[in-house]
Chain A
Amino acid sequence: MARKKAEGYLSGKESRRISKENRKTTNILEKKRKRKNVPESEYLTKMHDPANAVEFDNLHTYFFTDAGTVKSVDGVSFEVPVGKTVGVVGESGCGKSVTSLSLMQLLQRPQGQVVEGEIRLNLGDKAVDVAKMPYEAVQHLRGNFVSMIFQEPMTSLNPVFRIGDQLNEVIELHDGEGKSKEDVKKRTIELLEMVGIANSEGVYKMYPHELSGGMRQRVCIAMALACNPKVIIADEPTTALDVTIQAQVLDLLRNLKDKINSSIMFITHDLGVIAEMADYVVVMYAGRIVEKGTAEDIFYHPAHPYTIGLMASKPVVGKQVDKLYSIPGKVPNPINMPDYCYFKDRCEMCVEKCGGEYPCEVSISPTHKVSCYRYSDGQTPDAARNTEEKKGGTAS
């Protein structure tokens, strides 16, 4: 049965042309990354503020697919201060995971590439730009300076190796110089005890399938903390867990962060978890940051219509509403992004200016920044709401 060619489908010819072009672009980028013995001076840089552990500066990460270029991360800038937790919120597909994968250089290659921008990582005595580093050099950063806790503890552990062996491997690979096998094992047992596994000797010999979800996530956390990293990326670490286990894991993460004084980049779509964990919050929508600020800024004075909608659409225990607010429409197609504000088509608070180009970031307080035409520099969200109401009042 011949299928009617609907809009949005590509012809084979067109797709082949795109794929050929993509290959050209990615080959150049890949070649640059695969070079060996690159002098360190090429990627050494300076932190803008030495109190930050990571600075993302105008990061662009694109995926070159056969259907077109997907701008997963399109100009993202934010900082992770030393010893603080930064929460990144947004819908699935908004680029929160890709941002963190760019920092780890774990993007699906060769389609996924950092094409522009800097990721400055503070190594203590020096700073490097991860976006410019060749693959060879990044390997020394992973584990020692940046590590990651993945979303699903069920799939991120290897089912055919014992827990102990998987943990030993991490230590041997990143921190194993001058350590004997006994030392490594001692460290592994110590780590398992640190994350609250009582039967650590027993778990050392077990396979992942013998553990429950919460225990597996603890093992993943132990693995991420094995080499005392400066930055921990937690990519939805509790989404697959029950509330009671979630509470245990969050407590554990908070305590361990203080113990080894590292920073956490906490990615989730659960606003409740963010409120509990984060000092700073970054709200992402369709590859861009729409709002960022301290947790108090975001939760008590949400400014961007998307943040407001997100807060209203989550039922809260103890607050009864007849009907939940749901943000109308859906996320725009990532291949053909509009040239105006990405949220305009779903926004119920549009103003005339919204038809123009994408709004730039304005500071409505020293810590609180938002990309929306409804605000101007220095104006608080409450003040903006008041003037709007007045306008509405005179109009009606």
Chain B
Amino acid sequence: MSLRKETAGGAAKEDYTPVTYDPQYILMVNNLKKYFPVKGGMMSQTVGHVKAVDGVTFNLKRGTTMGLVGESGCGKTTTGRTILRLSGEKTGGQVLFNGKEIYDLSNKEMRAMRPKMQIIFQDPFSSLSPRLPVGEIIGEAVREHNLVPKAEFNDYIDKVMDNCGLQPFHKERYPHEFSGGQRQRICIARALALNPEFVVCDEPVSALDVSIQAQIINLLKDLQEQYSLTYLFISHDLSVVEHISDTVGVMYLGNLVEYGKTADIFRNPLHPYTKALFSAIPIPDPNAKMNRIVLEGSIPSPANPPSGCKFHTRCANCTKRCQEEAPVQREVEPGHYVVCHLYDK
């Protein structure tokens, strides 16, 4: 079937050098690509691809937090879901979780792997089933995976709920009886009940109030220390990301344009997009001076991205080379990577 082949692989040939496993990293993502086919015409043929994730490379150390920032539509969430094998097959690249390529696992092996990698979704109002009591929401996966003996099951759920700041009598209640902050605690408890090593937090605090936000962020940090968890923290709130992450990746139109330690990136942003993004953060000080770099226009369509460097249409430092040749990732300082022609030597 020629059609199916086309949908499965937009990028046909493997254009990356495979990485080998390094035990200090829990997760190694190498040139990950995820294209979504655009159907059109009479026979629903594939007429193009939305390149949601187009070559993302990073490594994540055990017990650390990586923040992923960018505008909406830049592919942050798709990256998170593709890493967990939650959005079908990848288009290209490697995802090594504890040294195993997760897209090579059989269904049975993948099922055994699932408890180790969990996700906390963005909206606590729509990610909880309204028909299940909270005890069942949290315990369902634990029972399915046979993680604890039947006799200890209730005590185990109580313990998990207690860790996340929920009371045991909440078990029989339904999600609609809770406030936003408590629902997010339920989502966190559901993810942590499986004793995971790696959790993708997909905008866990963006739907919450400032004071509740602080509670949830503190909870996530405490749990990280307690269980030595590794987080991939996806958010568009830069101040939250700076607070919680050890490393930060900045995404633009499916590419990771800058990646490095949080302190390095916030003190010395290199990529023009990162600079513009950081200058747009509102500062809670009425007399603060704003040296704002205002980006003109909006993010181009990922179905038809610009040639060369994808940012060149909005970049102030655009040269002819940027329009023609796509830049590659290079290490400017130790551990600080940037994808931009400006830093070529």
Contacts and interface: CB of A to CB of B under 8 A. Distances in A.
Nearest to A325: B214
Interface in B160-201: 172, 179-181
Interface in A252-295: 269-276, 278, 295
B283 interface: yes
B242 interface: yes
A276 B281 CA distance: 10
Given A314-B210, A317-B238, A317-B278, A275 B288 contact: yes
A321 B244 CA distance: 10
Contacts of A246: 280, 282
Contact of A326 (B215, B239, B282, B299): B215
Given A299-B286, A324-B214, A315 B242 contact: yes
B294 A330 contact: no
B213 interface: yes
A274 B284 CA distance: 7
B286 A275 contact: yes
Given A91-B211, A248-B294, A276 B236 contact: no
Contact of B284 (A243, A244, A275, A324): A275
A311 interface: yes
Given A275-B285, A316-B284, A247 B239 contact: no
A376 B247 CA distance: 47
B24 interface: no
Given A326-B214, A327-B211, A316 B283 contact: yes
A75 to B, nearest CB: 23
A220 B172 CA distance: 43
A295 B283 CA distance: 13
Given A242-B72, A244-B71, A245-B71, A318 B210 contact: no
B277 A213 contact: no
B214 A313 contact: yes
Contacts of B285: 275, 299
A147 B167 CA distance: 45
Contacts of A25: none
Contact of A276 (B213, B217, B238, B282): B282
Contacts of B290: 276
Interface string A125-164: 0000000000000000000000000000000000000000
A360 B281 CA distance: 36
Q: Which of B211, B217, B218, B299 has the most CB of A within 10 A?
A: B211
B218 A317 contact: no
Contacts of B211: 91, 309-310, 313, 326-327
A296 interface: yes
B223 interface: no
B294 A251 contact: yes
B208 to A, nearest CB: 9
A315 B218 CA distance: 11
A218 B180 CA distance: 29
A247 B294 contact: yes
For chain B, which range describes its interface: under 10, 10 to 19, 20 to 34, or 35 or more residues? 35 or more
Contacts of A315: 217, 239-240, 242-243
A323 B218 contact: yes
A215 interface: yes
A355 to B, nearest CB: 23
Contacts of B221: 323
A271 B217 contact: no
A243 B280 CA distance: 6
A317 B71 contact: no
Interface string B67-107: 00001100000000000000000000000000000000000
A212 B298 CA distance: 8
B298 A299 contact: no
B284 to A, nearest CB: 4
Contact of B217 (A92, A269, A318, A324): A324
Contacts of A273: 282
A381 interface: no
Contact of A269 (B209, B279, B292): B209
Interface string B223-236: 00000000000001
B169 to A, nearest CB: 8
Contacts of B266: 317-318
Contacts of A309: 211
A208 to B, nearest CB: 15
A112 interface: no
B276 interface: yes
Contact of A242 (B209, B210, B236, B243): B236
6 contacts: A91-B211, A271-B210, A314-B210, A314-B284, A315-B217, A318-B242
Interface of A: 3, 91-92, 212-215, 242-248, 250-251, 269-276, 278, 295-296, 299, 309-311, 313-318, 320-321, 323-327, 330
The 9 closest A-B pairs by CB, nearest first: A272-B282, A313-B214, A315-B243, A326-B214, A295-B286, A247-B280, A324-B214, A271-B284, A243-B280
Interface of B: 71-72, 172, 179-181, 209-215, 217-218, 221, 236, 238-240, 242-243, 266, 276-288, 290, 292, 294-295, 298-299
Given A242-B71, A299-B285, 17 more contacts: A213-B72, A215-B298, A243-B281, A244-B71, A245-B298, A269-B210, A270-B210, A272-B284, A275-B288, A276-B283, A278-B286, A299-B286, A310-B210, A315-B240, A317-B242, A317-B266, A326-B214
